[in-house]
Structure 1
């Protein structure tokens, strides 16, 4: 990945292409202000507290299931923080609660999926710029590429090429929205992901593939299911620039994501980020990680806690003090209590919706099923 490719035979005049990763790493990184650094920490604390509370809620019967993200707060908050919600669109999996929180999504509406109140969440995807929660492994990646390609079509239709500065045209820096899609190291082995990356590269779709490599594809370690050493190395096969970053450093995540978004926004096509982190807890609340890894392996692999690591950095740089950290924790606890109350207040959705929202125009078979359901479930 670091070695430039040789020119094709018969094309000796063509210079060697720039190493793919340098297309992103060479972009300038705008420094974060002290206020932004404190905001990032507050978001990480809120996400950490809500995440651990959600596990307790599942154990208490408040929600039937949840996918924890302990240890991945920096990767999620940092990337979600970089999104421009005025024009970008994010396509999550079932584990992006931290991204949703950083984007300002209503968390009661988000958690409605985990309560099984509504598939995909009760929030408005168009307003929040967060697509419905996707439970199919790798399922949201093709959706993201389709939306991103739509941005290029909308930007070029009748106005000239995206990214040009010709008077009367749409300039990519001001109009081009970017899709960002999340998936893990395990999902990177799905065929849909490879199809999406190829499709995006061919059509120069403005999409960021954000890979959270948390070390485990449920019970299988990364080295046993990702060939080539890393997910980022695969991007070169599609001509996509990639960055492999420390996913436990929230500042690095923000800067890398901003670079990737700027690259896409300028009409240069897709980019890939592989954020190296670690899933400190179970894959889901129905998983027992003790069946495939020991506590010692978990401690050794997890490394430094991203939240504590950021806290120490802020202290060392004089950006925050103990009073700020105490205030951030108190705010996180108060927020969790409000979200819990909101989830408890969620009522059941009308059962008829499982028929009403299947097709735009109903079918005879669906009508018959709905009639039978109403006959057998008059009490619903």
Structure 2
């Protein structure tokens, strides 16, 4: 991940992303030390050029053509394990099924909002697989795959989107897809763009101080963001803070080509986001975000470096493409050609790429595919039915959990709300809506 030089001629981010996806980056472990320790084998690391995307699998799921077919993948011992690799693929396969279910529910008015991760499954799940279970995650809003990887239930995720009484993360007070889970070390998502970056930097500094006490030595912070968030002031503030103060943190940038409707070509003139890392004095690597194996490898190495010494900041830029709309409030056909989207979906689909890899190992077949899809649909349907039957939390909960003691201004708001409810409670639409809330 060391930056030896900046190569501004390699790419203009998504302006040449199609060509970049055709490149092959050859990499091999190189020795750091010629004297192995008594308890460990000789230390190894992988040196990357930060501006040429790391790639292991081509768009049809084949390994680097310069390698013999059965050559073990360097530093990918886990993904050479059948159960681990099929778990990665299984969650990647389930994400678009979940997204389609929830998007359709929004279109039918059964939930208010949703955001998909179509086309970015490899970047999300591939990176999640490389993290430690106790790594603190500060997500943006397309990282539900991380929660699924860590064992979060569909009931939990779908209850949050419905805002039902079973929404343990926010008690029905957050927008859909704004997940949080203490159990899974997943911090609450906030709507304002890029606010998670300085928050994550602060968490990394706190973790650095904790490590000085000899605690949590194997844990780091991972902050997810898009290239659009990198255009916000909080990006500079957060990255600089993390670099100067130190602390183990990986900034994982999903460069998917669009900040809502603004293409990356209109966001910056520089060479993507990874090229900025040198100015902050941190390591960076660019990776093919549609190659789950490459994403796993890059994230694992970034995490290893972040944990070195007292901890430091490292950046990963995953070059991918947002196949879906920005959200259910967006119609991307207004600002990009639908044919372009279809080409990306067919030509460089991370799910197809990972499936081809598994099939080449004889770990996957059409029967397993069909069974897994059916299971996902069955499980999601059950969770949706469960969430819809559950009442919403009491309206009285709107004013709790902010202050330790009751505040006068919040009590005034609560009383005003009660007056409004009493005044309009007999209106048919209002009356019907109130039935959905718990009286407790």
1:282 paired to 2:338:
no
Q: Match of 1:106?
A: 153
Following the alignment from structure 1 to structure 2, what is the Cα–Cα distance between the partners of residues 70 and 78? 14
Q: What is the deviation of 1:348?
A: 1.1
Which of 69, 84, 87 is the aligned partner of 2:117?
69
Quickly say closer, same or farther: Cα 1:282–1:4, change in 2 above 3 A.
closer
Q: Match of 1:14?
A: none
8 Å Cα contact 2:91-2:149 kept in structure 1: yes
Q: Match of 1:314?
A: 358
Q: Could you tell me the TM-score, scaled by structure 2's length?
A: 0.74
Q: Could you tell me the TM-score, scaled by structure 1's length?
A: 0.84
Following the alignment from structure 1 to structure 2, what is the Cα–Cα distance between the partners of residues 342 and 240? 46
Which of 414, 421, 425 is the aligned partner of 1:377?
421
Q: Match of 2:93?
A: 45
1:296 paired to 2:339:
yes
> What is the correspondence of 1:177-192 to structure 2 with a 5 Å cutoff?
177-192=219-234
Q: What is the deviation of 1:299?
A: 3.1
> What is the correspondence of 1:230-269 to structure 2 with a 5 Å cutoff?
230-267=272-309, 268-269=311-312
CA RMSD for the aligned pairs? Answer: 2.5
Q: Match of 1:163?
A: none
Quickly say closer, same or farther: Cα 1:122–1:235, change in 2 above 3 A.
closer
Following the alignment from structure 2 to structure 1, what is the Cα–Cα distance between the partners of residues 375 and 89? 12
Q: Match of 2:194?
A: 138
Q: Match of 1:343?
A: 387
8 Å Cα contact 1:151-1:176 kept in structure 2: no
Quickly say closer, same or farther: Cα 1:227–1:111, change in 2 above 3 A.
farther
Per-residue CA distance 1:237-292 (angstroms, 9 max, x = gap): 11111111011111111121111111112234011111111111210111111110
Following the alignment from structure 2 to structure 1, what is the Cα–Cα distance between the partners of residues 231 and 299? 23
Which of 206, 231, 236 is the aligned partner of 1:150?
206
Greater displacement, 104-113 / 44-53: 104-113
Following the alignment from structure 1 to structure 2, what is the Cα–Cα distance between the partners of residues 52 and 250? 21
Q: Match of 2:143?
A: 96
Q: Match of 2:129?
A: 81
Q: Match of 1:165?
A: none
Q: What is the deviation of 1:205?
A: 1.6
> What is the correspondence of 1:326-341 to structure 2 with a 5 Å cutoff?
326-341=370-385
Following the alignment from structure 2 to structure 1, what is the Cα–Cα distance between the partners of residues 48 and 91? 35
Q: What is the deviation of 1:122?
A: 9.6
8 Å Cα contact 1:215-1:279 kept in structure 2: yes
- The number of residue pairs the alignment matches comes to 349
Following the alignment from structure 1 to structure 2, what is the Cα–Cα distance between the partners of residues 127 and 354? 23
Quickly say closer, same or farther: Cα 1:122–1:92, change in 2 above 3 A.
closer
8 Å Cα contact 1:63-1:114 kept in structure 2: yes
Per-residue CA distance 1:282-328 (angstroms, 9 max, x = gap): 10111111110111232345541111121122212323222222222
Q: What is the deviation of 1:3?
A: 3.8
Segments of 5+ residues of structure 2 without an aligned counterpart are 7-46, 55-73, 164-171, 426-433, 435-440
Q: Match of 1:30?
A: 76
Per-residue CA distance 1:107-145 (angstroms, 9 max, x = gap): 332234433433177976221211112222112122211
